[in-house]
Chains A and B, each alone.
Chain A
Amino acid sequence: MSVNRLLRVGTVAVASLGVLALSACGSDPEPSGSSSPEGSSSTGADCPQGTLNAEGSSAQKNAIEEVIAKYNEKCADVTVNYNPTGSGAGIKQFNAAQVDFAGSDSALKTEAADGDSEAATAAKRCENNAALNLPMVIGPVAIAYNVDGLDKLVLDGATAAKIFQGTVKTWNAPEIAKLNPGVTLPSAPISVFFRSDESGTTENFTKYLAASGGGAWTGKPAKKWTGTGAGKEKSAGVAEGVKSTKNSITYVEWSYAVDNKLGVAQIDNGSGTPVELTAESAGKALAAAKVTGTGNDLSMSLDYATKEAGAYPIILVTYEIACSKGLPAEKTALVKSFLSYFASTDGQASLTELNYAPLPDEIRTKVDAAIQSIS
């Protein structure tokens, strides 16, 4: 029995030693940038200390992760957590005071659905101060396709609407052929993939189809897909679907189209020349948008039917939703510090290589002013 007990104690000791050994040497990785010697600046006025928790839109996941990494090179003592659980979940958690700011693909709704409106509940959470909608990340939505030998494809709003509605069924349909003169199109049927989950991307894409489809799109713009095709979950799902299926097409965030090496359609917005999707052409579309919010609330109304030359019309704006007042002082300092960096030229510049578009300067300065007004 005593031998048994010895062995028993021994096993437990070895197990707990293992845990201790593991816990003794944990650390954060060294920042990959060369700016670590400037760590002394982390105690400056711009860099408070603490932890910031945020949640929301998955469309900005890659953007905000990159910005957090860059921000930590500057302010090493701030920890920022972002959970990409979706716009709706982000707003709910923000209103329940579980997170310090939220990311959402649409501004807080002001009309009441059941009980209070989103904006009213958010104001309550901010101790009866308004919550701000701060446009921060522009994610262009690509019409991505997979057709052998088709390097360049031009579509316009009406044709895209017909394809996704299911009225144009084959790749060599006259509508597509007219926009792509001199290109051999296969006679194969078009397989459409859509997002089976409720998504801000679907909402923005259907807004575009409704605005510039010339009546070809019969559904109402919504987070839930009403067109034709086969459903796949999340951006990764539709991108993977198009990648593995010949003669297929979908709508997906630009970065997914690039990462999966899919063809991206150029859009003829009616200006005469087809517009290729670039950070610049997407930024141009946002510059054409109007700010509909008042004061420091910067909710925007996008013009999906814009005919401006060189503007790529299908874009998705992710807002950061933050309290204008009412958070504890140390949280306010953290939110201000992080969002200021996000809206700075440095922060926005790092997004371009991830296939997001930087905020146009005119809007960026407005966003920055709004962030500085947070107290």
Chain B
Amino acid sequence: MSVLAANKPAYDGQTLDLSGKSGARAFKNTLATVLIVLAFAVALIPLLWILWTVISKGYSLLFDANWWSQSQRGVTVRREGGGAYHAVMGTLIMGLITAAIAVPIAILGAIYLVEYGKGTKAARAVSFMVDILTGVPSIVAALFVYAVWITVFGFNRVGFAVSLSLVLLMLPVVLRSTEEMLKLVPDELREASYALGVPKWKTILKVVVPTAFGGIVTGVMLGLARVMGETAPLLILVGYSKNINLNPFDGFMGALPTMINQDRTELALEPAADRVWAAALTLILLVLALNLLARLVARFSAIKSK
């Protein structure tokens, strides 16, 4: 008892030494915290500013039913009315075609890299090429497709050509994210499957891909959201049309980025300015919806560990 009592103050003193902070350290800690919070706030300012500007200037037209159901045919910059239907559909159609081409190639490529080609020269080459492709600016992808589609083959500018160049931008994004997701699947799962005598292809199809499904879908959605806002391919590979054109293989096609571009020189005129901001907000909402969808799919398709 006496030993304990004698030891206690010394013990307390030690605890104080360990947990208490000297003035300099407390100051450093506070400084770092303040700097981090400040950096966060600085990063947030432009985002909130953009959102506020676009929402406050663009929201009014979005509540108009015509905005979602009509084109801009016969509507000049001086007149109100019309909608963004043609542009929304153009953006969706070109985006979906892009996804239809890019997603299978990207997922199969990722499966090759992770499951079959690990460590081989071919896999390293593919990996390197994908890294390069990630850094290709959209304008270069667009000019490449212009050179092939129009200069070499002599076709016209159409929505499908835009999709082709967007494929070049979407492919590396989806391939990389899918690859990372497949790498996360524990090898124990594969080994367990092999131990039961399941062939490799069936293991990939029934065990590996379903396990990573949520992550793969998220990657696809993010890739799609990224290419939908691209403007350079639209400017180079398809003309803007104010009219509804749902055929990606013939004629000019509207899209939200080019709809914004079309009237941005007329911001002095109220109807045109309203439409430009509303189109910008529509594009943001479209991308936001895709991101939310990705979150939802990822949540509901996650494998539950029982």
Which A residues form the contact surface with B (CB < 8 A)? 4, 7-8, 11, 15, 19, 22-23, 25-29, 31-32, 51, 53, 55, 58, 61-62, 65-66, 68-69, 72-73, 79, 81, 83-85, 96, 98-99, 234-236, 239-240, 256, 259-260, 354
Interface string of B70-96 (1 = CB under 8 A from A): 111111111101110110110010000
22 A-B contacts (beta carbon < 8 Å): A8-B301, A23-B246, A26-B69, A26-B244, A27-B70, A27-B71, A27-B85, A29-B66, A29-B70, A29-B71, A31-B74, A51-B251, A53-B252, A62-B77, A66-B76, A72-B74, A81-B251, A85-B235, A98-B150, A235-B265, A236-B266, A354-B78
Given A29-B83, A98-B157, A260-B268, does the pair A83, B240 have CB atoms closer than 8 Å?
yes
| Nearest-neighbor residue (CB-CB) of B151 within chain A | A96
Q: A73–B74 contact, CB under 8 A? A: yes
Query: Which residues of chain A are near B218, meaning CB under 8 Å?
Result: none
CB of A86, distance to nearest CB on chain B (Å): 12
Q: Count residues of B near A (Cβ-Cβ below 8 Å).
A: 48
Q: Contacts A61-B265, A69-B74, A236-B267 known; list 20 others, CB within 8 Å.
A: A4-B301, A4-B302, A11-B300, A22-B85, A26-B89, A27-B244, A28-B71, A28-B243, A29-B66, A29-B73, A29-B82, A51-B251, A66-B76, A66-B78, A69-B75, A72-B73, A73-B74, A81-B251, A83-B239, A83-B252
CB-nearest residue of chain B to A64: B76
Interface residues of B in 239-254 (CB under 8 A from A): 239-244, 246, 251-252
Q: Which residues of chain A have C-beta atoms less than 8 A from B252's C-beta? A: 53, 81, 83
In the bound complex, residues from chain A placing their C-beta under 8 Å from that of B71 are 26-29
A28 in contact with B76 given A11-B300, A53-B252, A235-B265 (CB within 8 Å): no
A7–B150 alpha-carbon span in the complex (Å): 44
* Chain A residue nearest in CB terms to B252: A81
Which of A32, A62, A84 is close to B81, meaning CB atoms less than 8 Å apart?
A32
Q: How far is the CB of B70 from chain A (nearest CB, A)?
A: 5
A7–B75 touching, CB < 8 Å: no
Residue in A55, A66, A69 whose Cβ sees the most chain B Cβ within 10 Å: A69
Docked CA distance A11–B243 (Å)? 31
Given A29-B74, A62-B76, A79 contacting B293 (CB threshold 8 A):
no
Q: Assess the A22–B89 pair: CB atoms within 8 A.
A: yes
A4 to B304, CA, bound (A): 10
Q: How far is A234 from B86 in the complex, measured between Cα atoms in Å?
A: 27
Please measure, in the bound complex, the distance between the C-alpha atom of A65 and the C-alpha atom of B262, giving whole angstroms: 11
A28: which B residues are within 8 A, CB to CB?
70-71, 73-74, 243-244
Closest Cβ of chain B: how far from A255's Cβ, in Å? 9
A15: which B residues are within 8 A, CB to CB?
293
**Cβ–Cβ < 8 Å partners of A26 in chain B:** 69-71, 85-86, 89, 244
Query: Complex formed: what's the CA distance from A65 to B243 in Å?
Result: 12
B246 to chain A, nearest CB (A): 8
Other-chain contact of A8, B150, B297, B304 (Cβ < 8 Å): B297
**B268, A98: Cβ atoms under 8 Å?**
no
Q: Judging by beta carbons under 8 Å apart, are B265 and A58 in contact?
A: yes
Between B79, B239, B240, B267, the greatest number of chain A beta carbons within 10 A of the residue's beta carbon is seen for B239
Say how far B112's CB is from chain A's closest CB, in angstroms.
25
CB distance from B243 to the nearest CB of A (A): 5
Q: Give the Cβ gap from B98 to chain A, nearest Cβ, in Å.
A: 15
| CB neighbours of B300 from chain A (8 A) | 4, 7-8, 11
Question: Is B127 an interface residue when CB atoms closer than 8 A count as contact?
Answer: no
Known: A22-B68, A26-B69, A354-B78. A236 touches B264 (CB 8 A): yes
Whole-angstrom distance from the CB of A244 to the nearest CB of chain B? 12
A81 touches B266 (CB 8 A): no
Complex CA–CA separation, A140 to B265 (angstroms): 18
Chain A nearest CB: distance from B293 CB in Å? 6
Report B-chain residues with C-beta under 8 Å of the C-beta of A240.
267-268
**Within 8 Å of chain A (Cβ to Cβ): is B296?**
yes
B148 interface residue (CB < 8 Å to A): no
Closest to A18 in B: B289
B89 to chain A, nearest CB (A): 6
